[in-house]
Amino acid sequence: MTKILIVEDEETIRKFEKINLEMEGFEVLEAASGEEGIDLAKNENPDIVLLDVMLPGIDGFEVCRQLRAMEREVGIIMVTAKNQDIDKIEGLEAGSDDYISKPFNPRELTLRIKSLERRLRNINEPSDDKVLEVGQFKLDKASRKFYKDGKEIDLTPTEYAVMVLFLENQREAISRDEILDRVWGEDFIGDSKIVDVNIRRLRTKIEADSSKPAYIKTVWGVGYIWEP
């Protein structure tokens, strides 16, 4: 059973989310603050965290960053205010996998969670022991680790899946739609800008100068290409 942690300070919203998710067969944990959410994540190892941006104490962005620092392959969906694009972008840059805007209906929330659940399952499926080595980079599919010049670079599950796609298709221009289908799944119902934010995040981790990328290059009007 997939375990979901809801981090939401408004009790009525939290209870509403919990009831609907339990009706869909999920195990649900609750936290009313960012600090409580981090403690529960450490002790309960949820599969997915539904994380509100506006929280008492530390906000959702900082919670997201701390969850990613735990080096656990947890899925994170940020809950943002309607029409607050800056919150969506900041959440993705902090390491979230997806976002959903308030107010949302229970069906949309369930679809988002099940889509992320499938992506995480695909990423974590037993893989071949293939090691992909390209110049100074190495991706070990058995251990799911990525290295540059022998130093491990921490990647989120989504970033890891994007890197596998690039390294298995070097010098091939890959459209945003294809990246969405291959990494997020054909059933993903979010915004395609999520691809661009993940690419930007990857560039800051692997490029010497993310503003002048040498490896993950933009193909204008198409998408991106990995240049060895």
Q: What are the structural domain ranges in the chain? A: 3-124, 131-226
* pLDDT tens, residue by residue, 16-65: 999 999 999 999 999 999 999 999 999 999 999 999 999 999 999 999 99
Domains 3-124 and 131-226 share a fold: no
Structure tokens at 218: 């933009």
CB of 197 within 8 A of CB of 93?
yes
DSSP tag of 47: S
Structure tokens at 165: 């796609």
* pLDDT tens, residue by residue, 142-189: 888 899 999 999 888 888 889 999 999 999 999 999 999 888 887 777
Query: pTM for this structure?
Result: 0.81
Strands 223-226 and 216-219: antiparallel
Give dist(CA 10, CA 134) in Å, integer: 48
What is the side-by-side strand order in the sheet with 174-175? 174-175, 223-226, 216-219
Half-sphere exposure of 135 (CA within 13 A, CB side): 10
Q: Which residue has the higher pLDDT, 151 or 125?
A: 151
Give me the CATH code for the 3-124 domain, please.
Answer: 3.40.50.2300
* pLDDT tens, residue by residue, 200-222: 999 999 999 999 999 999 999 89
Give dist(CA 78, CA 37) in Å, integer: 13
The domain defined by 131-226 carries CATH number 2.40.110.10: no
